Amino acid sequence: MRSLQDRVICIVGASSGIGRATALECARAGMHVAVAARRMDRLEQLADELTAQGREALALRCDIACEDHAEELIGQCRQRFGRVDAVLANAGYSHEGSIVDLSDTALRQIFEVNFFGTVRVARAAVEVFRQQGGGHLLITSSCLSRFTLPYSAAYSATKAAQTHMARALRLELEHEGIDVSVIHPITTRTEFFDTACDIAGVERRGLPRHSPKLFIQPPERVARAIVKCLRRPTPEVWTSHITRLVAGAMVAFPWFHDFCVRRELAHRHAMAPGDEIVPPAVESGRNPPP
Ligand SMILES: NC(=O)c1ccc[n+]([C@@H]2O[C@H](COP(=O)([O-])OP(=O)(O)OC[C@H]3O[C@@H](n4cnc5c(N)ncnc54)[C@H](OP(=O)(O)O)[C@@H]3O)[C@@H](O)[C@H]2O)c1
């Protein structure tokens, strides 16, 4: 078990949802936290909350779709705190709809953020970790990196790419004292689904109703699992053991994947228009306080 007291973490994609909840959980565990994303107002408010917990905090604007931002970000974080012990590459979004209807530009954009953005964060983190003689890189992927759902192909492809990258990097870097972990959240109550609908131009809000309640978690649940992994690094973090088992079976038996997903799809199609969602999980785009 590692002590996290006075350790430094940089969280990319911290202005809402899982990243925000993880920043607060890390501060509770004694860490100093750099938070990064595009919405500075959100980050500054979060940094105030972290400082109020008695930790040092730094809010940094970063768009990981831009080539130099990740490197600048990790550099600024190191300059401010003297070192960077852990980096969480968490920024990402989804796109609702069939991949055959997606333009090349939209497809490239989701890969630019979810995959290439993660690669850029990983490169910058590993460079600093090598100079320091160690560190911990964590990547928020998804359970959808192991199986997929109809109308989620583009997103799942980016998440599968992240997961394979994390698995390879873990083995490449372990002899250098660098840990790599990949996180597989299940449906989590965040702005994620609203953003996906906004991007696809779909007029609806809230979590998809077809997600069974058993498989819906608050971002704080994921945050606690991430902090546990920081204390004791593990290759993969699953926040639902049932989903992990089902995902394993789906990989081993493709017919089982199709059987489960067809049932889900039939359920979705059978719903009356407007009934396919539950009310917004977050009020006016804000997560509930932990
Ligand atoms: N919610 C779920 O059900 C679920 C399930 C599995 C995996 N995940 C994964 O969990 C991660 C966090 O998602 P979430 O659920 O917490 O959703 P969220 O509340 O929408 O958070 C996404 C975060 O990513 C940041 N971001 C997006 N594009 C960015 C960019 N170009 N540059 C920098 N930051 C960017 C956003 O900040 P700004 O908009 O301020 O830049 C925000 O802080 C994502 O990688 C997602 O794929 C989510």
**Could you tell me the CATH number of the domain that includes residue 128?**
3.40.50.720
Asked if residues 189 and 219 have their Cβ atoms less than 8 Å apart, the reply is yes
**Known catalytic residue at 93:** no
Task: Answer whether residue 144 is part of any domain.
Answer: yes
pLDDT tens digits for 32-75? 999 999 999 999 999 999 999 999 999 999 999 999 999 999 99
pLDDT at 199 over 90: no
pLDDT at 282 over 60: no
pLDDT at 79 over 70: yes
If you ran DSSP here, which 8-state letter would residue 116 be given?
I
The sheet carrying 57-61 orders its strands as 57-61, 32-37, 8-12, 86-89, 135-140, 178-184, 236-238
If you ran DSSP here, which 8-state letter would residue 213 be given?
G
Task: Answer whether residue 13 is part of any domain.
Answer: yes
pLDDT of residue 266: 76
Q: How many CB atoms lie within 10 A of CB 98?
A: 11
If you ran DSSP here, which 8-state letter would residue 112 be given?
I
pLDDT of residue 198: 82
- For residue 193, give its domain range: 8-270
If you ran DSSP here, which 8-state letter would residue 97 be given?
S
pTM of the model: 0.92
pLDDT of residue 28: 97
Element (H, E) at 180: strand 178-184
Nearest CA-CA partner of 84 in 138, 38, 165, 39: 138
Task: Answer whether residue 35 is part of any domain.
Answer: yes
Task: Answer whether residue 281 is part of any domain.
Answer: no
Task: Answer whether residue 37 is part of any domain.
Answer: yes
Indicate which residue of 155, 192, 193, 238 is catalytic. 155
pLDDT tens digits for 219-273? 999 999 999 999 999 999 999 999 999 999 999 999 999 998 888 777 766 665 5
What's the number of domains the chain is made of? 1
Ligand 1 pocket, mutate which of 10, 15, 239 (most atoms under 8 A from CB): 15
Task: Answer whether residue 12 is part of any domain.
Answer: yes
